[in-house]
């Protein structure tokens, strides 16, 4: 193992405290810090030290793919790290968005060559595990419930949307199309009418959500689209699994996120960026997501995971205490380790590093079983190949 230096992304919705506190830096930070990237994504690759010079992980993978990735990973994913580990810290809502499946991404990228919607040929399933209380919108809820909420606002212009939702899941597509195709000149009036009803009516989580979203997006029909989705509040340790085609948005909180390394995003509102309604409708899964929340599963003393059905990544949480024998994980390489709290030694049989809170390390496929000792908590990211 060797120390890995991550890269911070300064998106406007980011926190000025969460990542700085994790890394032990002064707060507030100079500007918003939205994500800490720990991987080899070309947009912001993490680095390792080589003779006093930072060298990007991307560069090392290309130069020595067999050493870093191993033959099996190269055969399956090519000379790239298939996953990206992040710390995500949201002080404001992210855009409503969905991601294509693998076939859609390949076909879309071949068709538009990265010029419109598909910047790469890869899918982008995501798993987020809450580090703090975390609030999100994820997946369609029962359309009858959404019809009752939207209908209860008593906005006449929304009656066709409510009627579509009352037909069940089959009406979800029609409802989303109608909202995202709302005439530009009438969008501010629509949101204002819904906001007025939400403010004047009885207190409810849905009314509070409208007030929060309308404050930032007063002319965005995504404020109403949000009411079609599950509104979940995670406790630390709870996870959200977002496979392809599920509309979602992270609203507030800090979490560890792992995803397939891709930039393919189709937006559905709550953003000034382009919304391709037809392509989004083609990609979305218009079905009710029964329960978007994953609870951790214990797989060994002090070790838990959130099982997801992809080969690109897997995530484990390891907790060890002083005086204990520590934890030993037999996981496929390469591995990225993030120390969440405390102080830990991490040994893959090739090298040993000591990590404090907010520090990370990376090991190659040449490493053996991963041994963690000390007193603290870490997240370990690997590929999901078995």
Residue 282 belongs to a domain: no
* Residue tagged 């029962």 (tokens): 142
Share of the chain above pLDDT 90, in %: 95
Query: Cα angle at 378 between 23 and 24, to 5 degrees?
Result: 10
Q: Is residue 81 part of a domain?
A: yes
pLDDT for the residue 290: 87
Asked whether residue 99 is marked as a ligand-binding residue, the answer is yes
Residue 340 bears catalytic tag: no
Q: How far is the CA of 370 from the CAs of 24, 75, 259, 365, in angstroms?
A: 26, 23, 22, 11
Closest C-alpha to 360, from 134, 11, 69, 87: 87
| 158 and 174 part of one domain | yes
Within this chain, do residues 86 and 124 fall inside the same structural domain, yes or no? Answer: yes
Per-residue pLDDT tens over the stretch 319-368: 999 989 999 999 988 999 999 999 999 999 999 999 999 999 999 999 99
Among the candidates 216, 243, 274, a domain finishes at 274
Do residues 125 and 69 share a domain? yes
**What's the pLDDT score for residue 114?**
66
Q: What is the pLDDT of residue 175?
A: 98
Encoding tokens for residue 81?
Answer: 């790290």
DSSP 335-350: EEEEEEEEEEEEE-SS
Tokens standing for 157? 């212009």
- As a whole number of angstroms, the distance between CA 312 and CA 91 comes to 29
CATH number of the domain that residue 360 is part of: 2.60.120.10
Q: Is residue 283 part of a domain?
A: no
Q: For residue range 109-142, what is the model confidence (pLDDT) as tens digits?
A: 999 766 778 999 999 999 999 999 999 999 999 9
CA-to-CA distance for 224 and 165, rounded, in angstroms? 13
Residues 246 and 103 in one domain: yes
Is 240 found in the same domain as 123? Answer: yes
**For residue 233, is pLDDT > 80?**
yes
179 touches 221 (CB < 8 A): yes
Residues 6+ apart with CB under 8 A from 50: none
Provide the H-helix boundaries in the chain: 18-22, 57-63, 65-77, 102-112, 143-152, 159-165, 172-180, 187-200, 205-216, 222-225, 277-283
Coil/strand/helix, residue 136: strand
Of 80, 141, 252, 267, which residue is the catalytic one?
Answer: 267
The total domain count for the chain is 3
Predicted local confidence at residue 217, as pLDDT: 97
248 is in an annotated binding site: yes
> 96 and 238: one domain?
yes
Which structural domain range is residue 251 located in? 2-138+232-274
Q: How far is CA 80 from the centre of its chain?
A: 20
User: Could you tell me if 125 and 82 lie in one domain?
Assistant: yes
pLDDT digits (tens, 9 = 90+) for 260-270: 999 999 999 99
Of 291 and 360, more confident: 360
Instruction: Give the rounded percent of residues in the chain with a pLDDT score beyond 70.
Output: 99
Q: Do 9 and 110 belong together in one domain?
A: yes
Asked whether residue 374 falls in the same domain as residue 331, the answer is yes
- Check whether residue 152 and residue 254 sit in a common domain: no
Q: Which pTM does this prediction carry?
A: 0.95
Angle (CA) 22 368 354, round 5°: 30
Closest-CA residue to 357 (of 90, 88, 87, 45): 87
376 lies in some domain: yes
Residues 189 and 314 both lie in one domain: no
Query: Is 43 found in the same domain as 13?
Result: yes
Q: What single-letter DSSP state applies at residue 186?
A: G
CB-CB contact of 123 with 108 (8 Å): no
Q: Where are the beta strands (DSSP E) in 10-99?
A: 35-38, 47-50, 53-56, 83-90, 96-98
When pLDDT is cut at 50, 70 and 90, the band that residue 201 belongs to is confident
> d(Cα 31, Cα 20) in Å, to the nearest integer?
11
DSSP state of 232: E
Q: Largest alpha-carbon pair distance within the chain?
A: 68
Q: Please compute the mean of the pLDDT values over residues 44-73 and round it to a whole number.
A: 95
Under a CB-based contact definition with an 8 Å cutoff, are residues 251 and 135 in contact?
Answer: yes
Assess if residue 309 is contained within a domain: yes
């Amino acid at each position: 193992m060797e120390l890995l230096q991550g890269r911070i992304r300064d998106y406007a919705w980011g926190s000025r405290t969460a990542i700085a506190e994790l890394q032990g830096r002064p707060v507030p930070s100079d500007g918003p810090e939205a994500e800490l990237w720990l991987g080899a994504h070309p947009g912001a690759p993490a680095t390792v030290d080589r003779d006093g010079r930072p060298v990007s992980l991307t560069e090392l993978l290309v130069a020595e793919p067999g050493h870093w990735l191993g033959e099996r990973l190269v055969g399956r994913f090519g000379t790239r790290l298939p996953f990206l580990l992040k710390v995500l810290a949201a002080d404001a809502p992210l855009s409503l968005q969905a991601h294509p499946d693998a076939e859609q991404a390949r076909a879309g990228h071949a068709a538009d060559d990265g010029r419109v919607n598909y910047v790469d040929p890869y899918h982008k399933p995501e798993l987020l595990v809450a580090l703090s209380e975390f609030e999100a919108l994820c997946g369609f809820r029962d359309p009858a419930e959404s019809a009752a909420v939207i209908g209860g606002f008593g906005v006449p212009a929304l009656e066709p949307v409510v009627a579509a939702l009352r037909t069940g899941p089959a009406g979800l597509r029609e409802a989303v199309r109608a909202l995202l195709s709302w005439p530009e000149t009438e969008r501010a009036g629509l949101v204002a009418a819904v906001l007025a009803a939400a403010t004047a009516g009885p207190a409810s989580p849905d009314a509070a959500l409208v007030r929060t979203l309308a404050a930032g997006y007063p002319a965005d029909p995504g404020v109403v689209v949000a009411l079609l989705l599950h509104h979940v509040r995670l406790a630390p340790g709870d996870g959200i699994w977002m496979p392809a085609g599920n509309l979602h948005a992270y609203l507030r909180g800090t979490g560890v996120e792992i995803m397939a390394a891709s930039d393919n995003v189709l937006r559905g509102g709550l953003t000034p960026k382009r919304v391709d309604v037809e392509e989004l409708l083609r990609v979305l899964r218009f079905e009710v997501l029964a329960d978007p929340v994953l609870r951790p599963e214990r797989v060994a003393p002090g070790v838990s995971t959130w099982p997801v059905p992809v080969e690109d990544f897997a995530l484990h949480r390891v907790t060890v205490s002083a005086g204990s024998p520590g934890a030993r994980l037999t996981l496929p390489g390469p591995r990225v380790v993030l120390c969440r709290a405390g102080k830990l030694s991490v040994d893959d049989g090739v090298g040993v590093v000591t990590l404090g809170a907010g520090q990370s390390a990376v090991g190659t496929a040449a490493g053996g079983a991963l041994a963690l000792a000390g007193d603290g908590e870490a997240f370990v990211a690997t590929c999901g190949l078995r």
